[in-house]
Amino acid sequence: MIEARRLHILRAVADHRTVTAAAAALYLTPSAVSQQLTALEQETGHRLVERSAKGVRLTPAGEILLAHTNAVLAQLERAEAELAAYSSGAAGTVTVAAFATGIALVVAPAVARLAGTAPGIRIRVQDAEGDASLPMVLDRQVDVAVAVEYRGAPAADDPRLAHVPLYAEPFDAVVPVSHRLADAPEVPLAELAKDPWIGPYPGNPCHDVVVLACENAGFQPRLEHSSDDFRAVVALASADAGVALVPRSALRGMDLTGVVVRPVDGVAPTRRVFAAVRRGAEGHPLIRPVLEALGEAARV
């Protein structure tokens, strides 16, 4: 009989590629993870992982078991949801991980909405970048992620996750008031090819959006200054340190002295925001109202 907790460990090892990283995500010791993998191999009668100096990868037998693991764990999530619904599930805590702008735009309004519609649900919010929150959901550190599409992100049909689209927003060009295009009604990105750029660090989903937009305009941006805080990005632009692309919602309420904000000429780069939960958990009586409240906040 295969134990479900060992399937969780197998998936964590497949996701994180090393025993040490999987152990950290699961709050276990590396030796405990190794022991559970060995026990799982004994239960199945197959070698499931191969270790090397570069990390761990699944064997063909491990890949077969992983495909079933995703289905089994999703079904267990559904079972927990139905049991919680049977016992009413009217009270409890749901942990939501979201990036700062997402917290302001949809999470905080959803918290306020739930206080009136589902007072038994307590929301705990954690600030996490758009690419960090999805692993937190998969590792069961949080229940819901508000994340951003990015290159390498799990697809909408990923068997491990259920996606709920929330909103999409354009990036606007931010240039110093002294910039040659400051008076233009729209900014063609190709005209900024020789400018110094200010933007998020690699790994931040917004970095991917900026770089891809510039590549589509025919150039690689010369990123001279890096910050994941858009207030810092705008402040540097106001100091004439470079130009930037910033999500429109991140500019709300910001001090824009010294810069000009203009829409991008043509098809604007866009970030698409969604909520994600472990597949099978979307029907849980605590999680479903949270997803609905996030969706309502996004529509408003």
CATH value at residue 74 = 1.10.10.10
- Judgement on whether residues 228 and 79 belong to the same structural domain of the protein: no
- Contacts of 14-23 spanning 24+ positions with Cβ under 8 A: 14/58, 14/62, 14/66, 15/135, 15/138, 15/139, 16/135, 17/55, 17/56, 17/57, 18/55, 18/56, 19/51, 19/56
Tell whether 22 and 95 lie within a shared domain.
no
CA distances from residue 19 to 16, 44, 58, 278, 285 in whole angstroms, order as listed: 8, 20, 12, 22, 34
CATH number, domain containing residue 156: 3.40.190.10
Q: Are 221 and 209 in contact (CB under 8 A)?
A: no
Pick the more confident residue, 77 or 218: 218
> Do 141 and 289 fall within a single domain?
yes
| Counted domains in the chain | 3
For residues 278 and 291, membership in a common domain is answered with yes
State the residue range of the domain holding 49: 4-83
State pTM to two decimals. 0.71
What was the pLDDT predicted at 133? 93
Task: Please say if the pLDDT value at position 152 is more than 80.
Answer: no
Nearest to 250 by CA among 196, 169, 145: 169
What pLDDT score was predicted for residue 75? 86
205 falls in which pLDDT band (50, 70, 90)? confident
Confidence of residue 86 (pLDDT cuts 50, 70, 90): low
